[in-house]
Amino acid sequence: MIIKNLEITDITEEGNGVARNEGKVVFVKDALPGEMVNVRIIHSKKKFDQGEAIVYLEKSAVREKPFCMHYGVCGGCSLQHLNYEEGLKFKTHWVKSAFSKIARLNIEEPSIISMQNKLKYRNKVVFHGFFLEGQYKLGFYRKGSNSFVHIKECFLIPDDFIEMKNRIEELSGTYNVYPDEIMIRTNGVDFQIGLESGNTDNLNLLLNELKKEFPSIRDNIEISIAGMVFEVSAKSFFQVNLEGATSLFKIVEKMVGDVSHSIVYDLCCGVGSLGVFLGKAGARIRGYEVIEEAVILARKNAERNGLIDYEFTAGKVEDVISASIIEDNGVVILDPPRGGVEVIVIDSIVKSNVSRVVYVGCGLGKMVRDVAKLIEGGFVVSKVECVDMFPWTGHVETITRLIRNKN
């Protein structure tokens, strides 16, 4: 089916234009707000249609030529066909709209901090292994699919990552090992590699060869951020965009207010970066994290960065946090993965007497879902701000401050 003269009025996080045809929503691949298009419908569902633009009757003035050869096929970026600053406006619009739709809350459109380094900003990548015409390849998820696309270039990561990835593809046959996943991380000088595969003996042989060819590969590396140094292991999380993370830390510091006499409960603390940053402002830090090796490093990192009063506990927050643990004059920082937290964590915060919560969310929908539960439990949103931590992608780091409604 062809629909003519369709006006695109919005854009989704996946980079699809949004239009309405006879009351039904139509998602249009590669179409931007303000454009007028003729569309071929590819999938027709009960509540919406999906299609592609076959003719642009009017093109957007802010449309740009995508710079990556994999754009539109790879699931990583979704905003390369749009001017960067315009993309930021859509990101804050998505945040406002998510609060309205999910939490039924009308917030002001938040501010967003843009990035100076818009390209090659990631210090970490995960490639997935797969076979293409019998050849072992490494790549990313294909857009909207569970299959993979072989990656030859990526403008979000340093060139060294591509070089190492290519070498692993070449060496896989020699060592008869085909990792399902490889993680590469750098601090700009040293590199860290994590390889996942059932065959550990051959994997170690491959890793030893890589270490010979790339002598800057280390087991644990040190990453400097905001005047602090953190040791990071391959299995632990660390902020992927240091410029963005520095802005994020400052926003959180501003939002928590004076913590010089408070305990900060850093839920999902990783190797301790955010907590240690606040600890340097005088807060007593209580961190909780599921990866045990990250907890050990968090303790080391707290000590080497001069903290005195800190405790880090290994375990799932939903298992280790309860209302009675959280002191009344404390501050809770929630910085979970994209899926948000279990409802029991929100219940514990609500049942405690803590008056301030700062939620750092990298998964917008799930963050607003959790915030909505905190609102139901008696908190009010007092500020929302964003950082463009992941330029050209549909992701936006959103920081929400909540305070307990005393009325």
Ligand X SMILES: C[S@@+](CC[C@H](N)C(=O)[O-])C[C@H]1O[C@@H](n2cnc3c(N)ncnc32)[C@H](O)[C@@H]1O
List interacting residues with ligand X (CB under 6 A). Answer: 237-239, 268-270, 273-274, 288-291, 294, 316-318, 335-337, 362
Closer Cβ to ligand X, 164 or 331, answer by number: 331
DSSP 328-356: TT-EEEE---TT---HHHHHHHHHS---E
Q: Are 57 and 26 in contact (CB under 8 A)?
A: no
- Positive/negative CA dihedral, 15, 358, 109, 371: positive
Least distance to ligand X from the beta carbon of 387, Å? 12
Query: CB-side exposure of 17: number of CA atoms within 13 Å?
Result: 28
Query: By C-alpha distance, which of 70, 115, 81, 78 is closest to 94?
Result: 78
- Non-local (6+) Cβ contacts of 86 within 8 A are 62
Tokens 């007593």 locate to 284
Query: By C-alpha distance, which of 339, 301, 302 is closest to 317?
Result: 339
Closer Cβ to ligand X, 77 or 367, answer by number: 367
Closer Cβ to ligand X, 290 or 346, answer by number: 290
Q: Are 7 and 21 in contact (CB under 8 A)?
A: no
Distance between CA atoms of residues 19 and 218, nearest Å: 50
Least distance to ligand X from the beta carbon of 400, Å? 15
Closer Cβ to ligand X, 6 or 274, answer by number: 274
Least distance to ligand X from the beta carbon of 296, Å? 13
Q: Which two tokens stand for residue 335?
A: 């910085």
Closer Cβ to ligand X, 19 or 252, answer by number: 252
Closer Cβ to ligand X, 166 or 313, answer by number: 313
Query: Which residue type sits at 212?
Result: K
Q: Quick one: which H or E segment has residue 380?
A: strand 379-387
Closer Cβ to ligand X, 288 or 310, answer by number: 288
Least distance to ligand X from the beta carbon of 346, Å? 13
Least distance to ligand X from the beta carbon of 266, Å? 6
* Rg over CA atoms, the chain: 23
Closer Cβ to ligand X, 169 or 370, answer by number: 370
Least distance to ligand X from the beta carbon of 121, Å? 16
Q: Which two tokens stand for residue 28?
A: 């249009």
Query: Which residue type sits at 226?
Result: A
* CB-count exposure of residue 95 (10 Å: 0-12, 13-18, 19+): buried
Cα–Cα–Cα angle for 45, 48, 51, nearest 5°?
90
Least distance to ligand X from the beta carbon of 147, Å? 26
Closer Cβ to ligand X, 143 or 366, answer by number: 366
Least distance to ligand X from the beta carbon of 318, Å? 6
Q: Which two tokens stand for residue 2?
A: 């062809």
Least distance to ligand X from the beta carbon of 247, Å? 13
